[in-house]
Amino acid sequence: MKIDIDLVPKDQRKEKPTDVLEVPFGTVFSDHMFSMRHDGTSWKDARIHPYSPLSLEPAALCLHYGQGIFEGLKAYRRGEKVLLFRPEMNFQRLNASAERMVMPFIDVDFALHSLKELLKIDSDWVPEVLGSSLYIRPTMIATEPKLGVRPSSEYLYYVILSPVGPYFKEGFAPVKIYVSDKYVRAVKGGTGAAKAVGNYAASLLAGTDATKVGYSQVLWLDALERKWIEEVGTMNLFVRFDDEVVTPPLSGSILPGITRASVLTLVKDYGLTPKERMVSIDEVIEGISSGKVKEIFGCGTAAIIAPVGSLWYKGIPYEVSNGQTGELTQKLFDDLIGIQSGEREDPHGWVVPVE
Ligand code: PLP
Ligand code: COI
């Protein structure tokens, strides 16, 4: 499909942030965006055009019943080069989310091609400083105006770009995680494994509980027993018990993270044996008390590798790794960010140049 291009005149382009590491996550957007629409038969009207408000019918199905999905990936700068990290996995996951939400598939090759074209146009929005990147948000929403509950016959797919530094207000310092035993995020058979917009709305109330006690993120437990750890609001979770590095399995209620998959590979490269197994919150709390839990960290595109310095469970705060960043966590952070930004060798061929 041909992409029509409508550029913002050079003298009307926006100012870029002077210190991207200080910009709150996802608040500044580049000059251009990509969009195309689906009319029930096929995708059409592929365009790169100025970043601008959408025009939607008030009855658009996404606004009423949440038929919407999204992705998150990043572009990194290495000198003149712009690099992506395993981008095809994001588009494959978008299609997996589309299947769950009865939405149309996109062609992975075309999605990557159109993203690269957009990035070439807005390449000077990709920041250089280590720890920063251009966050990419592909989004698909149901646009048919109709109040009946059923799959839409029309969709909009669009991609916007936002220069970002750290996701958490703590920067890259250890984050404090609140274990929710009152609310749940997802249940097997539900939409937890899809990147569906409603999953995030459902997480907000527990987030306000966390904020009340000075915590920033929520760790979800399984919906049936409230016993097994699942994932954090925007990250998958790893626990290091002595030399065993563990993450919960992809049970159908957590997001299959691309960073999670990459961490599993890197941990193997280090000569350790990562395990995907169920971990109860009791095992974690006992392990913290006995010293068997050496480190806990979350991982995700926005969060990169985030050390966990403290867990709040049933009204009690538990300090992890003396509130410091553990050794393995730091190594994974350095290696991952090094590979993503093209500074370190990429033995698995994860990095895709925009050219
Ligand atoms: N879990 C949830 C709920 C997320 O929103 C994210 C972020 O996308 C992740 C995990 C991590 O996934 P990824 O590593 O693909 O960014
Ligand atoms: C990401 O890591 O890309 C996410 O989707 C997290 C987020 C919802 C900001």
Work out the average pLDDT over 8-23: 96
Q: Tens of pLDDT along 177-218?
A: 999 999 999 999 999 999 999 999 999 999 999 999 999 899
**Atom number, ligand 2, closest to the C-alpha of residue 301:** 2
CA–centroid distance, 302 to ligand 2, in Å, is: 5
Ligand nearest to the CA of 336: 1
Query: Is ligand 2 within 6 A of the CB of residue 302?
Result: yes
Task: Say yes or no to pLDDT of 168 above 90.
Answer: no
Q: Any idea of the CA torsion for 155, 235, 305, 313, to the nearest 10 degrees?
A: 160
CA–centroid distance, 256 to ligand 1, in Å, is: 7
Q: Which amino acid is at 18?
A: T
Ligand nearest to the CA of 260: 1
The residue assigned the tokens 């996550």 is: 25
Distances (CA, A) of 284 to 72, 116, 192, 217, 310: 29, 42, 23, 17, 12
Over pLDDT 90: what percentage of the chain?
97
Q: Tens of pLDDT along 312-347?
A: 999 999 999 999 999 999 999 999 999 999 999 999
Q: What angle do CA 110, 114, 117 make, to 5 degrees?
A: 140
Domains and CATH numbers, the chain: 4-164 (3.30.470.10), 175-340 (3.20.10.10)
The pLDDT mean for the chain works out to: 96
Query: Is ligand 1 within 6 A of the CB of residue 138?
Result: no
pLDDT at position 176 is: 95
Query: Is ligand 1 within 6 A of the CB of residue 136?
Result: no
Strands 32-38 and 155-164: what pairing? Answer: antiparallel
Residue nearest to atom 4 of ligand 1 (CA): 234
| Residue 196 · residue 231 · CB < 8 Å | no
Ligand nearest to the CA of 94: 1
Q: Tens of pLDDT along 32-80?
A: 999 999 999 999 999 999 999 999 999 999 999 999 999 999 999 999 9
Task: Extract the tokens encoding 125.
Answer: 């929005």
The residue assigned the tokens 């146009």 is: 121
Q: Please state the separation of Cα 68 from the chain's center in Å.
A: 15
pLDDT at position 172 is: 83
- In angstroms, the CA 283 to CA 101 distance is 35
pLDDT at position 343 is: 94
Provide CB contacts within 8 A for 119, sequence distance 6+.
75, 82, 84, 126, 134, 136, 161, 354
CA–centroid distance, 257 to ligand 2, in Å, is: 10
Which of 94, 232, 234, 304, when mutated, tests ligand 2's pocket best, judged by the most ligand atoms within 8 Å of its CB? 234
Task: Say yes or no to pLDDT of 171 above 90.
Answer: no
- In angstroms, the CA 109 to CA 114 distance is 9
CA–centroid distance, 10 to ligand 2, in Å, is: 31
Quick check: pTM over 0.75? yes
pLDDT at position 104 is: 98
- In angstroms, the CA 196 to CA 94 distance is 9
Query: Is ligand 2 within 6 A of the CB of residue 90?
Result: no
Task: Say yes or no to pLDDT of 130 above 90.
Answer: no
- In angstroms, the CA 263 to CA 306 distance is 12
Query: Is ligand 1 within 6 A of the CB of residue 308?
Result: no
pLDDT at position 169 is: 81
Over pLDDT 70: what percentage of the chain?
100
Strand partners, 311: 177, 318
**Nearest Cα to 77, choosing from 354, 344, 351, 341?**
341
**Atom number, ligand 2, closest to the C-alpha of residue 135:** 3
CA–centroid distance, 303 to ligand 2, in Å, is: 8
**What is the 8-class DSSP label of residue 339?**
H
CA–centroid distance, 9 to ligand 2, in Å, is: 31
